[in-house]
Amino acid sequence: MRTGLVLAGGHSTRFGEADKSVAAVDEQPMVRRVAERVDSVTDELVVNCRDEQRAAITEALDGLDYRLAVDPIPDEGPVAGMRTGLRVARGDAVAVVACDMPLADPELFERLFERADTAAVPRADGHLQPLHAVYGRHAARFACDRTLASGSRRLAEALARLDPVVVDVASEDPFTNVNTKGDLVGVRGALGG
């Protein structure tokens, strides 16, 4: 079984006061765009968020079949968000994607599922993309637990504990993330129907 895990629990401080996860991209909330893309290649969908995001995320994902994984302690970063989501996930392989990557690539996730054991992470232009990757649920949860227990919140440290398969890709487009309102304008219209 495959799980799609969308990380939406960040505070998006560079975006301003609004929650970027529900900002519109081509007339749909960004978190919905990302969720639909990963949901198309998985058997279940889990969305990680902060408690105060529940209502907005629920409204944004209306009609989709998903489960929320609410962070018990907010603002601990993506490693903690992954750990929370991995606790809820049922699939042995979990596609993890940040909610601010509206160009996430379902075909690339398929390639990563084929290569994943403990982890399969794409690399573009020499940079690993751990928030558009596939992880073995048990191994990744252990890596997140160990990283947080060591006092670190660094995703690179959790990833290093997994010895991931690296999958080189030509385009950086799927990893475009929206951090500011200017970034949001840049991705509008970039998605086909």
The pLDDT score that the predictor gives to residue 191 is: 53
- Residue 161: in which H helix or E strand, if any? none
Q: What is the pLDDT of residue 193?
A: 40
Beta strands per DSSP E along 22-83: 24-25, 28-29, 44-49, 67-70
DSSP H or E run through 2: strand 2-7
Q: What is the mean pLDDT of residues 128-156?
A: 96
pLDDT tens, 82-107?
999 999 999 999 999 999 999 999 99
pLDDT at 28: 87
Write the CATH number of the domain with boundaries 2-187: 3.90.550.10
Phi-psi region of 185 (alpha: psi -120 to 50; beta: other; left: phi over 0): alpha
In the chain, count of helices (H) and strands (E)? Answer: 7, 10
Amino acid of residue 181: K
Most confident of 17-26, 32-41, 72-81: 32-41
Domain range summary for the chain, segments of one domain joined by +: 2-187
Has this prediction a pTM greater than 0.85?
yes
Helix 106-115 to helix 30-39 angle, to the nearest 10 degrees? 50
